[in-house]
Amino acid sequence: METPIEVSGLVKTFGRTRALDGLDLSVRAGEVHGFLGPNGSGKSTTIRVLLGLLRADAGAVRLLGGDPWRDAVALHRRLAYVPGDVTLWPNLSGGEVIDLLGRMRGGLDPKRRAELLESFELDPRKKGRAYSKGNRQKVGLVAALASDVELLILDEPTSGLDPLMEGVFQQWVGRAKADGRTVLLSSHILAEVEALCDRVTIIRNGRTVETGTLGELRHLHRTSIDAELTGPLDGLATLPGVHDLRVDGNRVRFDVDTVALDAALRRLTEIGVRSLVSQPPTLEELFLRHYETTDEVVA
């Protein structure tokens, strides 16, 4: 089976700004793939290249086995896209927009459309200008999820939705996956990513920094150690892979890279351990580490 999305070494510049700088992204058929990165890291630019709206400057991009720029129209009939900020025509009703977008994609399932309207509690008769931000988002989601397509490209689709609707969204993505569709989900909501995504790709400054399952990513990161020692503390600070060492009498707390964990523990047991608590990195820490260190590359 073909890989729905295969991007390697993608470069896109706007004037002097290098928005994408050798980005890699691989989404396998039938998976929900999380696409993460801080604001301005290039997620939406990548998606626009995938949609054939922007032309890549360099790199290889394959979408559903085709070239997203050259074969745009044929490929678009097989996918549905929800932008992060759905805007609607002020004089068209929500129902009209849903049908219009569905028909331009090649038709939508009327039964699923009705079900989606009900579960998202959306009134399709309101005019575009009358919807709130969250409801505009729902119009985009209903139009996409009611379409019979192989691939869903969702760019922060739940911004503005309340927690209840967030739950409804997760159910429907689950159903799409069960129907065998592939989903590329760009998101900032960690619970959403944790609940839905099989694999994730984290990008920063237009470049891929991590990709893999959540389990794999955790493995690549630091473990927090909190230990009470019996002997004098020495030689720990100089060990490679040890960070944020804090000493409080006999008590030490530090973070250690997973690869250096073995050496650090050996050193601790040499000194003598009275008690020890170790914690794997939380998803949040994992993201924050990537999100907050943007400066070092920009300079």
Partner 1 sequence: MSTLTGTRHLVRLILRRDRVLLPLWVLVLAVLPVSYAKSFFALFSTAAERAAYASGTARNPSIVALLGPVYGESVGALTAQRGGFLLVIVALASLLTVIRHTRTEEEAGRRELLGGTVLGRHAGLTAALLVTYAADLLLGLVTAVGLLGTGLPAAGSLAYGLGTALVGVVFATVGGLAAQLTETAGGARGIGIAVLGAAFGLRLVGDTARNDWPSWLSPLGWAPRLRAYEGERWWVLALPLAVTVLLAAAAYRISVRRDLGAGLLPPRLGPATAGPALSGPFGLAWRLHRGQLLWWSVGFGLLGLILGGAAEAAGKSVEGNPQLEQIMARLGGASGLAEAYLGATLSLAGLAAAGYGIQAALRMRAEETGGLAEPVLATGVHRTGWLLSHLLFALLGPVLVLAVTGFTTGLTYGLSVRNVPGELPRLVGAGLAQVPAAWVLAGFAVLLYGLLPRLASMAWAVLAVCVLLGQLGAVLELSQWLLDLSPFTHTPQVLRDQWPATPLWALSALALLLAAAGLTAFRRRDLPTT
Alpha-carbon distances, residue 43 vs 6, 194, 219 (angstroms): 15, 19, 24
Question: Residue 98 Cβ, how far from partner 1 at the closest point, in Å?
Answer: 8
Contact 179, 30 (CB under 8 A): no
Question: Residue 97 Cβ, how far from partner 1 at the closest point, in Å?
Answer: 8
Coil vs helix vs strand at 237? coil
Residue 100 interacts with partner 1 (CB under 8 A)? yes
Question: Residue 155 Cβ, how far from partner 1 at the closest point, in Å?
Answer: 10
Select 59 or 95, whichever has its Cβ closest to partner 1.
95
Binders of partner 1 among residues 55 to 94 (CB under 8 A) are 55, 72-74, 76-77, 79, 81, 83, 85-93
Residue 21 interacts with partner 1 (CB under 8 A)? no
Pair of tokens at residue 74: 């044929």
Residue 105 interacts with partner 1 (CB under 8 A)? yes
Q: Name, in order, each residue with C-beta under 8 angstroms of 146's C-beta and a sequence gap of 6 or more.
A: 98, 102, 108, 109, 112, 113, 116
Residue 169 interacts with partner 1 (CB under 8 A)? no
Pair of tokens at residue 222: 């630091």
Question: Residue 125 Cβ, how far from partner 1 at the closest point, in Å?
Answer: 4
Q: Name, in order, each residue with C-beta under 8 angstroms of 16's C-beta and a sequence gap of 6 or more.
A: none
Select 115 or 198, whichever has its Cβ closest to partner 1.
115
Contact 31, 45 (CB under 8 A): no
Residue 1 interacts with partner 1 (CB under 8 A)? no
* Identified binder of partner 1 from the candidate list 58, 60, 104, 220, rule CB under 8 A: 104
Pairing of strands 273-279, 251-256: unpaired
Q: Enumerate the H helices of the chain as residue ranges.
A: 43-50, 72-76, 94-105, 110-119, 133-145, 163-178, 190-196, 214-219, 261-271, 283-292, 295-298
Binding residues for partner 1, rule CB under 8 A, total 40
* Identified binder of partner 1 from the candidate list 126, 188, 199, 251, rule CB under 8 A: 126
* Identified binder of partner 1 from the candidate list 60, 65, 106, 191, rule CB under 8 A: 106
Coil vs helix vs strand at 203? strand
- The binding site for partner 1 (CB under 8 A) comprises 48, 51, 53-55, 72-74, 76-77, 79, 81, 83, 85-93, 95-101, 103-106, 124-127, 129-130, 140
